[in-house]
Amino acid sequence: MGKKEIYPIVLGIFILGLMRGPALGSEPIRIGYLQSDIHQLACWVALEKGFYKKQGVDVKLAGIFRAGPEEMSAFAAGALDMGYVGEAPATTAVANGMARVRILAQVNTEGSAIVVREKANIKTMNDLRGKRVAVPGHSTVQDFLLRKAMAKWNIPMNEINITVLKPPEMINALRTKQIDAFIAWEPYPAKAQTMGVGRVLLYSSDIWKNHPCCVLVADQRFLASRPAEARRMVAAHVEATDFIDNNPEEAGRIAVKYTGMDPESVRLAMQNVNYTYQLSIEGEKEYVRFLVGLKYIHVKDIDAFTRNFICQDILKELVKK
């Protein structure tokens, strides 16, 4: 091979190396989940019990995130193939053209709560007027729920001071009176209770019954190039979700390991979460409508958006079996 032939080869390898995108063939599947978010227990169960291996897929944990929007940024950067994430941040990212993912299955419904200080004189949503409430981030499910609650109780948007805090900091901020309330995913509300720092003002089911919360999403390029593996990931997820229903004790132990929290908080937390893989089209539309109302996103055709966003085929096939 003379010099002339080397150049195109080197150039080709260089360009190949620059290309992002799904790994070729036998590369492990990169997944992500939210830190200590007990909604995503199915993922931990699947990891611990080897359900992914059982399905014949090689999985690599490529990120643990402090809140949904951070995980969506990772998708935007092409760093994840599939992930467990909140439906609201996923919707925002896709609607704003940042990440190209599709929802393949539900992960849970409900499972958040608004927590106030144990001894505070706050009995209803209305008592939160003029107070400061912390959310894990803008356009998270919890941010969404808080504003939905405000709308439900007719509290104007500017009458509650919404502050962004990462959930690990919320309990301490509540205790030291930096904030008057927080809304977070389980097990943080449970932990606040077992620590004697706070009590629940409202469960998320009180705000919106059966509201969808976390979803299992897949990067579109991954989905297009490795559909068989994507299907097997969903199958593992279904098996893990059933496992939680049938083996709550063992699932609880796995939750303790991954959240680093005590068994009592974990047990209390799991009571507030409904683990299911059934998709909710109406639920997603509700998210889109609300996010548009908040001016976080602009979506003209909500039905079309939802149809493109949620992929029902894989789940339907699996459940039929």
CB of 309 to other proteins, least distance (A): 14
The SS3 assignment for 80 reads coil
* Options 79, 292, 294, 302; binder of other proteins; rule CB under 8 A: 294
CB of 181 to other proteins, least distance (A): 13
CB of 291 to other proteins, least distance (A): 9
**Which of the ranges 11-19, 88-96, 102-110, 184-192 carries the binding residues for other proteins, by CB under 8 A?**
88-96
The SS3 assignment for 236 reads helix
* Options 48, 66, 73, 151; binder of other proteins; rule CB under 8 A: 73
Which residues from 42-71 bind other proteins, rule CB under 8 A? 67, 69
Q: Where are the beta strands (DSSP E) in the chain?
A: 29-34, 59-65, 82-86, 101-106, 108-110, 112-117, 132-135, 161-164, 181-185, 198-203, 214-219, 273-275
Name which of 166 and 199 has its Cβ closer to other proteins.
166
* Options 131, 132, 148, 175; binder of other proteins; rule CB under 8 A: 132
CB of 266 to other proteins, least distance (A): 25
**Which of the ranges 109-117, 169-177, 236-244, 275-283 carries the binding residues for other proteins, by CB under 8 A?**
169-177
Name which of 70 and 286 has its Cβ closer to other proteins.
70
Size of the site for other proteins (CB under 8 A): 33
The per-type count for the chain, helices as H runs and strands as E runs, is 16, 12
Name which of 69 and 111 has its Cβ closer to other proteins.
69
- Residue 31 in tokens: 């997944």
d(CA 157, CA 211): 21
Which residues from 133-152 bind other proteins, rule CB under 8 A? 137-140
CB of 94 to other proteins, least distance (A): 9
Using the 8-state DSSP alphabet, how is residue 122 labeled? Answer: -
Cβ density class 216-232: b for 16+ within 10 Å, e for less: bbbbbebbebbeebbbb
CB of 188 to other proteins, least distance (A): 16
R_g (Cα) of the chain, nearest Å: 21
- For 29-41, the three-class secondary structure string (H helix, E strand, C coil) is EEEEEECCCHHHH
Pairing of strands 198-203, 214-219: unpaired
Nearest to 239 by CA among 104, 46, 61: 46
Residues that bind other proteins (CB under 8 A): 67, 69, 72-73, 76, 89, 92-93, 96-99, 132, 137-140, 157-158, 161-165, 169, 173, 176, 178-179, 294-297
